[in-house]
Amino acid sequence: METIVIRLTFSSPNAGPFNILTTSKKVLREGVSRQELIDGITTDVDKGETSIVIRSTGDCVLEKTVQLKNITVDEYQKLAYSQNTTGCLWTHLRNTQIYNYFYGNIEPYIIEYPFSYKYNDEILQNVKDYSKVYRYLPEVTGSFDSNRKVQVDDRWFNKAVLYNGQQSTGVLELVAKPQNNMAAYMQYPILNTDSKVITFTKSDNFYQYNTFWALQVDDQQPLFNSSCKSLSIDKEVNQANMNYGNIAFKKSPLRAKNLKVRHILDNSSTTHIVSQFIVAPAQISYK
């Protein structure tokens, strides 16, 4: 065995973490951060090894084989890191069955609808969304074929957040209503520590759900936290201000002069949702 030193001198800003492997794909080091590799790391390889493989495993997925060579201490000390300001090379829609999938990750598809009521406050009754959801089949001709798709009923957005200026439902996880299985259906809603799982149905081409109420703990605390995870996400539910526990009696409806319905798809990259329009039936709340 002999010890080698590996140092990164050029990369994109979103490269890493890295795995270091032999050319036979034997893992030497795992999860090495970009900064660690810039500073330099050491690892042992078999004597006589002439090259290694450096694989970036994060958002920027790439792999490069690097030849091992001898350099002097002075040459090593003069090595400097420079950053490539452009991102990874991305070719869009190479696979027509995959949509919101970039750099090896599912990126959320989020759409938010605002509603404004007239003079009186109104209480939200349910949400009805008219969307067409497709699943594309593998290509057989080698080129995109818009006819290679089927419209499905059991796929849709997997999360929703309903809120106004003072109230929020927190994170609602949406699952298709179990068919012909009353015992499974009666398990819902399922209360988790950071979400509530409810069912949706599709009837007359409308996806709809209605099992929600306000879950905020303190009206004087923010309902959302800012986020910069990706271009798709601008804010996240302030989970510290939500109570997903079992509320036996006092279930506050969403009542205001405005409403926002946020739908999120972040668990699938093979579901193609064509959003059409949404309706949020409400009744006037007299006080």
- Enumerate domains of the chain plus CATH numbers: 2-83 (2.60.40), 107-284 (no CATH)
Per-residue pLDDT of the chain (287 residues; tens, 9 = 90+): 888 899 998 887 778 899 999 988 889 999 999 899 999 999 999 888 889 999 988 767 788 898 998 888 888 888 888 877 655 555 666 677 788 877 667 888 999 999 988 888 888 889 999 999 998 888 777 666 778 889 998 899 999 999 998 999 999 999 999 988 889 889 999 999 999 999 999 999 999 999 899 999 998 999 999 877 666 678 899 999 999 987 766 788 888 999 999 999 999 888 899 988 888 878 787 76
List Cβ neighbours of 258 (8 Å cut-off, separation of 6 or more). 114, 115, 116, 117, 164, 165
Return the CA Rg of the chain: 26
Tokens of 223: 């309902």
pLDDT given at position 238? 92
Question: What's the DSSP call for residue 219?
Answer: T
One-letter identity of residue 38: I
List Cβ neighbours of 106 (8 Å cut-off, separation of 6 or more). 100, 266, 267, 268, 269
Residue 152 in contact with residue 268, Cβ under 8 Å? no
One-letter identity of residue 180: N
List Cβ neighbours of 100 (8 Å cut-off, separation of 6 or more). 106, 107, 108, 109, 265, 269
Tokens of 2: 């002999």
Residue 281 in contact with residue 128, Cβ under 8 Å? yes
CA distance 168 to 224: 9
The β-bridge relationship of strands 190-191 and 172-176 is: unpaired
CA distance 268 to 97: 11
φ and ψ at 38, to 5 degrees? -65, -40
Tokens of 16: 């890493």
